[in-house]
């Protein structure tokens, strides 16, 4: 039997924009997703936007009851900056404070520990109009928002995160044109990345000064970079891919500094951000207490087969090609490789290269399109999801046995939720959601997850 410690965290993760709905109710301001959907809804799968999501704002009591019924002893959710502080930095929305207080209290009544994340891709539109993360002023407004959260909820919440997957708003918003403001601006991307690390450090500084006796970290989507072969050029390609994909945020968050090799590349391409020494000191002196890790798939790379286009905007792929490994296991619905051992390699990397800092898996999951075809007697028979969890948990357990300081496993996600540009194309939940009626039904995986949590293993 695979057995975890009695105090191991089992739970799931969500985000405000993907779950709350009530996008313009009770004083909430617009975020970039509300605005983008309002102005260009053709970009969203089946033109479904975030206005309703999974109606957590209205149905949180029922949902927390379902968290209990699916074995959660912890749950990670995010606070909507645009709901709590509608104009970004001014007056606090009392209705939002009341809502988040109610959610926290309801969770604690049900013995579910809240893990709160402060930013999950959801920049308030008024802050984006100032330039978003490109603007140092927005960094200060975010740090103030974080302090408001700590002051209102930190008496009961003892596990915080500053950001979820910050590299996503860098890559998708400022390099690849996938997310708003859908720019292709390498220098802007580097500025955004630097300001995000600074914002995280400032939030940590504010938290420590309040002395609330909790822990604060950051959530990174780590993707181990595997070379195609042991050829020195393939090895170099994977080394550079790792600098961008993982170390860019992992090093400043845990070590308080940026990788020298990464800085050299940024300088070579004349992409250095604007910064001052005092800000570097803030990053150096305000590192995380613990780390959240989202793991979905590996990153396989090879030496470039052709010269990069020197006329094109800089991309990290200037230094490597992506490599599709023959015979790989794949999720046919999502198109992502399934490589369970990656979670073990992450565990040992944290143990060996990052001071064996306390960490947990904050997302791991399998999205499936057309999941209704697995409906039998009213319940989704998602054995494939159970197998996915088991296979990853075996490798995670092996990493823990070898000394990695992992304290929990959160899946993505509790209930089928709205997912950015993909809307409801892929379902990830332990609980299924009927979009027409908002009826919630626990899937087979949700029942299994309760057994897992109660037995602390399988």
Residues annotated as part of the active site: 165, 363
End-to-end CA distance of the chain: 6
SS3 string, the chain, reads CCECCCCCEEEEECCHHHHCCCCCCCCCCCEHHHHHHHHCHHHCHHHCCCCCCCCHHHHHHHHHHHHHHCCCCEEEEECCHHHHCCCCCCCCCHHHHHHHHHHHHHHHHCCCEEEEECCCCCCEHHHHCCCHHHCHHHHHHHHHHHHHHHHHHCCCCCEEEEEECHHHHHHHHHCCCCCCCCCCCHHHHHHHHHHHHHHHHHHHHHHHHHCCCCEEEEEEECCCEEECCCCHHHHHHHHHHHHHHHHHHHHHHHCCCCCHHHHHHHHHCCCCCCCCHHHHHHHHHCCCCEEEEECCCCEEEECCCCCCCCCCCCCHHHCCEECCCCCCCEECCCCEECCCHHHHHHHHHHHHHCCCCCEEEEECCCCEECHHHHEECCEECCHHHHHHHHHHHHHHHHHHHCCCCEEEEEECCCECCCEHHHECCEECCCEEECCCCCCEEECHHHHHHHHHHHHCEC
Q: Which residues contact 214 (CB under 8 A, 6 or more apart)?
A: 154, 157, 158, 159, 160, 207
What is the distance between the alpha carbons of residues 53 and 422, in angstroms, rounded to a whole number? Answer: 12
Asked whether the CA dihedral 105, 106, 111, 116 is positive or negative, the reply is negative
Angle at which helix 277-285 crosses helix 186-210, to 10 degrees, equals 50
């Amino acid at each position: 039997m695979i057995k975890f410690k009695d105090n191991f965290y089992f739970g799931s993760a969500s985000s405000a924009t993907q779950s709350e709905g009530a996008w313009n109710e009770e004083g909430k301001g617009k975020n970039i997703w509300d605005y983008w959907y309002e102005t260009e809804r053709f970009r969203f799968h089946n033109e479904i936007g975030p206005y309703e999501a999974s109606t957590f704002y209205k149905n949180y009591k029922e949902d927390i009851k379902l968290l209990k019924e699916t074995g959660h002893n912890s749950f990670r959710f995010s606070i909507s900056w645009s709901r709590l502080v509608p104009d970004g930095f001014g007056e606090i929305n009392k209705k939002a404070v009341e809502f988040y207080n109610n959610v926290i209290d309801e969770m604690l009544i049900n013995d579910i520990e809240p893990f709160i994340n402060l930013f999950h891709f959801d920049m308030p539109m008024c802050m984006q109009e100032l330039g978003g993360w490109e603007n140092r002023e927005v960094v200060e407004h975010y740090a103030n928002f974080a302090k408001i959260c700590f002051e209102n909820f930190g008496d009961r919440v003892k596990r915080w995160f500053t950001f979820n997957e910050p590299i996503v708003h860098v890559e998708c918003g400022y390099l690849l044109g996938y997310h708003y403001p859908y720019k292709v601006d390498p220098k802007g991307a580097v500025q955004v990345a630097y300001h995000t690390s600074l914002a995280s450090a400032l939030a940590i500084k504010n938290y420590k000064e309040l002395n609330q006796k909790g822990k604060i970290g950051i959530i990174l989507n780590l993707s181990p970079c595997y070379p195609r072969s042991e050829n020195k050029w393939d090895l170099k390609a994977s080394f550079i891919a790792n600098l961008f994909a993982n170390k860019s945020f992992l090093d400043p968050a845990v070590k308080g500094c940026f990788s020298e090799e990464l800085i050299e590349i940024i300088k070579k391409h004349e992409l250095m951000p604007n910064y001052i020494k005092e800000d570097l000191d803030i990053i150096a002196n305000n590192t995380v207490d613990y780390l959240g890790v989202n793991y979905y798939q590996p990153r396989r790379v090879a030496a470039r087969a052709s010269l990069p286009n020197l006329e094109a905007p800089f991309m990290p792929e200037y230094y490597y090609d992506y490599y599709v490994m023959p015979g790989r296991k794949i999720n046919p619905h999502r198109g992502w490789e399934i490589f369970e051992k990656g979670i073990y390699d992450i565990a040992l990397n944290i143990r060996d290269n990052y001071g064996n800092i306390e960490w947990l898996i904050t997302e791991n999951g399998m999205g499936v399109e057309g999941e209704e075809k697995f409906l039998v007697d009213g319940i989704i028979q998602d054995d494939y999801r159970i197998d996915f969890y088991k296979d990853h948990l075996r490798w995670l357990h092996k990493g823990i046995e070898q000394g990695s300081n992992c304290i929990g496993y959160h899946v993505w996600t509790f209930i089928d939720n709205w997912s950015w540009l993909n809307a409801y194309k892929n379902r990830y939940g332990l609980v299924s959601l009927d979009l027409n009626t908002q009826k919630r039904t626990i899937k087979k995986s949700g029942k299994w997850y309760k057994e897992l949590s109660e037995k602390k293993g399988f």
